[in-house]
Amino acid sequence: MPPKKPFRVVVLASTNGTDFSAMLEEKRDGKLKDVEFVGLVANKNCGAAERAAAAGVPVFLIDGKAENFHEELFETVKLLEPDLICLVGWMRFLRANFCAEFENKILNVHPSLLPKFAGKMDGSVHEDVLAAGEKNSGMTIHLATADIDAGEIICQKECDVAEDETVESLREKVQTLEKKWYPEVVRWFRDEKIFLNEKL
């Protein structure tokens, strides 16, 4: 029987890469068997790129201010032949042609219970959650499309919002959920346990 082909994952990141760190830890601990991180693509120097380099994952830096940024992003990712693309703190919009080329292969994690508080990022999301007096928040892992935070929801987990909650304490709660569930969703895709347009 031929050896199982590695499940090729490309990560797009712009920030510290907290969730990527959790993936690398699970890979190191043998919990992401047959998953190969074939590249981390970043639009600037960032913590996620440093984490990737330290773990031996190839890093591709593309100048986010360059006129041909989107074209270079498309070609770089295409050459890596991903089975799955994970956005981890990726602070750039994806063009329609990119989303069409990798349809149903792009995952994003958002720090709220979508569709609530869509379209914003991290700290501002948590501020809005607290300002709205929400009793619960959480994280959503969804398919990324050209429409921001509008793709099909794959996994959604919630946490309580305490009366004395702060932006930082809420961020920590939500990131704990992200670090637990993002690697799990990668396993679902690896094992072909995702049936799109159906309830899990």
pLDDT 10s digits, 180-191: 999 999 999 999
Residue type, 189: F
Q: Tokens representing 24? A: 């690398």
Burial class (CB in 10 A: 0-12, 13-18, 19+), 91: middle
Residue 198 lies in a domain: no
Residue 1 lies in a domain: no
Residue 34 lies in a domain: yes
CA separation for the pair 103, 126 (Å, rounded): 29
CATH value at residue 71:
3.40.50.170
CA separation for the pair 46, 48 (Å, rounded): 5
CA separation for the pair 180, 21 (Å, rounded): 11
CA separation for the pair 62, 72 (Å, rounded): 7
Question: Quick one: pLDDT at residue 200?
Answer: 39
Question: Quick one: pLDDT at residue 199?
Answer: 41
pLDDT per 10-residue tile (average), the chain, 200 residues: 81 94 96 96 95 96 93 97 96 93 96 92 88 96 92 96 96 96 96 63
Question: Quick one: pLDDT at residue 119?
Answer: 86
Q: How many domains does the chain have?
A: 1
Q: Return the HEC string of 117-143.
A: CCCCCHHHHHHHHHHCCCCEEEEEEEE
What backbone phi and psi angles, to 5 degrees, belong to 68? -100, 25
Residue 166 lies in a domain: no
The residues carrying an active-site annotation are: 110
Residue 164 lies in a domain: no
| Domain enclosing residue 107, as ranges | 7-111+138-157+178-190
CA separation for the pair 94, 46 (Å, rounded): 19
Task: Enter the pTM of the model.
Answer: 0.92
